[in-house]
Every structure is written in structure tokens, then in C-alpha cells.
């Protein structure tokens, strides 16, 4: 399974994403990063898709579809982290993934470890 995680400007939530990157067993990690974020520590096992949050929602979704389609490949479903980012960014990401099309499972890191919310 691939992990797709959104990295927004809300640094207080970056620990959640970092924990998933380091502790989740997955084939590939795609970080969707807000273009104004330039100091998130990116692991070598991650690929990065930069997005412009200033775009209107539908244009942001279209941009994500174009960028993510090649990153995700022919996956049936992906794990998604929405711990960071805004509602607009989350809506665009979810809509893009469903339009690719790919199923989504929400991933979160808890005291019990990585959990997939179904």
C-alpha cells in the first residue's frame, strides 16, 4: 500500500506525519506539500508533490490528479493522512484520489502505533 500525506503550514501537526513516515510499513510515500512549506524534513523514501494552495479548489484538485496519477500507479487503494492542512486542501486531495480512481483508507499514528481507520 502507498501512503499519501498532506503537509500544510500547521507545523504543530507535522509530528503525526513524521511518525507515519518512520513507522508505517508501506511500499511508497507521497507527500503533498503546500508550496509555502519549505522546512518539512523529507525522508529519502518519500516523493514530493508541491501544490499551490492559492489555486481555487477545482484547479487544485485538477493539479493534484495530474501529479498523483503517475505517483500512485495502479494501486487499488492508498492510506491517506489528513493530520495537516486545511479543509480546502483536504477536499481537493480526497476528490483527486477518488477521481484517479483509487480507494482511500485514513491513516493515523496513535499511542498504539499506526492505525488504519475504516
Give the pLDDT confidence of 92-102 residue by residue, as tens digits.
Answer: 999 999 999 99
The b/e string for 41-55 (b: 16+ C-beta within 10 A; e otherwise) is eeeeebeebebebeb
Q: Domain total for the chain?
A: 1
| Neighbouring residues of 38: CB distance < 8 A, sequence distance ≥ 6 | none
Q: How is residue 54 annotated by DSSP?
A: T
Alpha helices in 6-86 (DSSP H): 14-23, 57-72
- Region 104-113 average pLDDT: 96
User: What is the model's pTM?
Assistant: 0.93
Range of the domain at 20: 2-117
| Confidence band for 118, pLDDT divided at 50, 70 and 90 | confident
For the domain that residue 84 is a member of, what is the CATH number? 3.40.50.10770
d(CA 100, CA 8): 22
DSSP states of 17-35:
HHHHHHH---SEEEEEEET
- pLDDT tens sequence across 47-87: 999 999 999 999 999 999 999 999 997 889 999 999 999 99
Amino acid at each position: 500500500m502507498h501512503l499519501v500525506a498532506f503537509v500544510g503550514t500547521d507545523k504543530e501537526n507535522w509530528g503525526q506525519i513524521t511518525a507515519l513516515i518512520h513507522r508505517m510499513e508501506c511500499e511508497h510515500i507521497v507527500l503533498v506539500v503546500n508550496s509555502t512549506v519549505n522546512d518539512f524534513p523529507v525522508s529519502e523514501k518519500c516523493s514530493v508533490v508541491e501544490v499551490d494552495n492559492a489555486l481555487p479548489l477545482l484547479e487544485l484538485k485538477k493539479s493534484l490528479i495530474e501529479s498523483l496519477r503517475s505517483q500512485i500507479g495502479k494501486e487499488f487503494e492508498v492510506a491517506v493522512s489528513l493530520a495537516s492542512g486545511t479543509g480546502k486542501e483536504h477536499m481537493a486531495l480526497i476528490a483527486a484520489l477518488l477521481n484517479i480512481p483509487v480507494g482511500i483508507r485514513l491513516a493515523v499514528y496513535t499511542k498504539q502505533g499506526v492505525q488504519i481507520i475504516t
